[in-house]
Amino acid sequence: MDITPTSPTSPPPEKQPPLAVDKVSSGKATRPGDRIFLGLSRGSGITLLVVMAAIALFLTVRAASALGKNEGNFLTTFEWNADSAEPSFGIAVLLFGTVVSAIIAMIIAVPVAVGIALFISHYAPRAIAAPLGYVIDLLAAVPSIVYGLWGALFLVPHLEGLYKWFDDYFGWTGILEYNDGTPRSLFTIGILLAIMILPIVTSVSREVFLQSPKMHEEAALALGATRWEVIRMSVLPFGRSGIISASMLGLGRALGETMAVATVLSTSFGIQTSLLDGGGGTIAQNIASGFKEASDDGRDALIASGLVLFLLTLVVNGAARLIVARRKEYSGANA
């Protein structure tokens, strides 16, 4: 290598051998090459922060301009007439749809995902466990528009019978009431979103379950515990925060999902008590389907709703990451 001749002439690393690595890595670059490289890489990191800040800033700027013209109350108005001369629009219906469909998705997806994760980590025969994990990861890569196409043309027609059934037995609750019509409803969206977030929730919780301390499991088995008792006593308590953060990540996805919702749902403004009847809307879906017809003011109004979505996902994802970070600090089991 061409380094050998220069090494005797560069004494700094030899003066303090144990500290040399620390000194260089602490950011005090002395050589020009080092300085440029550090500047480049630090600059990239700062770029990322700037982009995040810019997203918040520019969305806020446009949103403020839209809100200034809004005749209605942004939080409580039940309509979206952003294009008229006296624009009046509110986020209430969309926020309701977004949150409700995401919650339905969570209720369906999280137990199933935890089940699949347990299946892969503790129940499946060795030979198929690894390929299965692989398949689940691949499914996370299916584009959301394809889920949307499948949901609109394949899932929706199959749900009618199920909804009639729900209506027969649970119609009295009011929530699961179904009057005939195409089931392009919030509940359908919930099912579709559940299918879409299954892979991510599964793969994160599977990672956590696989890390659960083997010693605890073997100790429980040695005491005569059944497999379920092992899981309940040693795997689930260990993985609890992992499950929570996986669900939050899934929730973030479900809240922001656009195309799958836009293909399945037909927007109607109004909050219904029944989740099975067609109608409702989500923030992201409203943006995607209302964008082409929107005037300049209408676009600003859509951006304002996007800002709400941004803040919502920011809070959910931030919370998920904080939970994961805390688990890393307190768990000694990984050491």
Partner 1 sequence: MNDIMVDKTTDLASAPQTSTLRQPSTLRQPRLPAWAPIGLVALSILLGCGIGVAAGLDSKIQWGLISAVLLVAITFALTAQVEGRRQAKDRLATSLVWICFLLAIVPLASLMYGTIDRGSKVLDGAFLSHSMNGVLTTQPGGGIYHAIIGTLEQVGIATLIAAPIGLLTAVYLVEYGRGKLAKAVTFFVDVMTGIPSIVAGLFILSLWIIILDFDYSGFAGAMALAILMMPVVVRSTEEMLKLVPNELREASLALGVPKWRTILKVVLPTAIGGITTGVMLAIARIAGETAPIVLLVFGEKVINNNPFEGAQSSLPFYIYEQWSLGNEASYDRAWAAALVLIAFVMILNLVARGIARWKAPKTGR
4-43 positions binding partner 1, by CB under 8 A: 4, 6-7, 10, 13, 17, 20-21, 24-27, 29, 31, 33-34, 36-38, 40-43
Tokens found for residue 288: 């995607």
- H or E segment to which residue 282 belongs: none
Return the beta strands (E) in the chain as ranges: 80-81, 88-89
> How far, in Å, CA of 83 to CA of 308, rounded?
19
Helix (H, G, I), strand (E, B) or coil at 280: strand
Query: Which of the residues 62 through 121 are near partner 1 (CB under 8 A)?
Result: 62, 111-116, 118-119
| Pick 18 or 332: Cβ nearer partner 1 | 18
Tokens found for residue 127: 């030979």
- Contact residue for partner 1 among 173, 174, 237, 291 (CB under 8 A): 291
Closest to 277 (Cα-Cα) out of 209, 188, 217: 188
Which residues, listed in sequence order, are joined to residue 280 by a DSSP beta bridge?
268
- Contact residue for partner 1 among 177, 217, 257, 297 (CB under 8 A): 257
**What's the min distance (Å) between Cβ of 179 and partner 1?**
17
Instruction: Report DSSP letters for 171-214, one per residue.
Output: GGGSTT---SS---BHHHHHHHHHHHHHHHHHHHHHHHHHHS-H
> How far, in Å, CA of 235 to CA of 226, rounded?
13
Q: Counting every residue, how long is the chain?
A: 335
Q: What are phi and psi of 79, to 5 degrees?
A: -145, 170
**What's the min distance (Å) between Cβ of 187 and partner 1?**
13
280 binds partner 1 per the rule CB under 8 A? no
**What's the min distance (Å) between Cβ of 220 and partner 1?**
12
Q: Which stretch binds partner 1 (CB under 8 A): 169-177, 213-221, 295-303, 327-335?
A: 295-303
- Contact residue for partner 1 among 76, 154, 328, 335 (CB under 8 A): 154
| Pick 235 or 273: Cβ nearer partner 1 | 235
Q: Which stretch binds partner 1 (CB under 8 A): 133-141, 203-211, 272-280, 327-335?
A: 133-141
Instruction: Report DSSP letters for 71-92, one per residue.
Output: SS-TTT---EE-SSSS-EE-SH
314 binds partner 1 per the rule CB under 8 A? yes
Which of the 8 DSSP states describes residue 278? B
142 binds partner 1 per the rule CB under 8 A? yes
**What's the min distance (Å) between Cβ of 311 and partner 1?**
10
Which of the 8 DSSP states describes residue 121? I
- Contact residue for partner 1 among 144, 267, 272, 274 (CB under 8 A): 144
Question: What is the size of the binding site for partner 1 (CB under 8 A)?
Answer: 110
Longest pairwise C-alpha distance within the chain: 87
- Contact residue for partner 1 among 93, 102, 104, 198 (CB under 8 A): 198
| Pick 31 or 326: Cβ nearer partner 1 | 31
**What's the min distance (Å) between Cβ of 3 and partner 1?**
5
Closest to 204 (Cα-Cα) out of 251, 255, 141, 249: 249
- Contact residue for partner 1 among 84, 228, 268, 270 (CB under 8 A): 228
- Contact residue for partner 1 among 67, 129, 139, 175 (CB under 8 A): 139
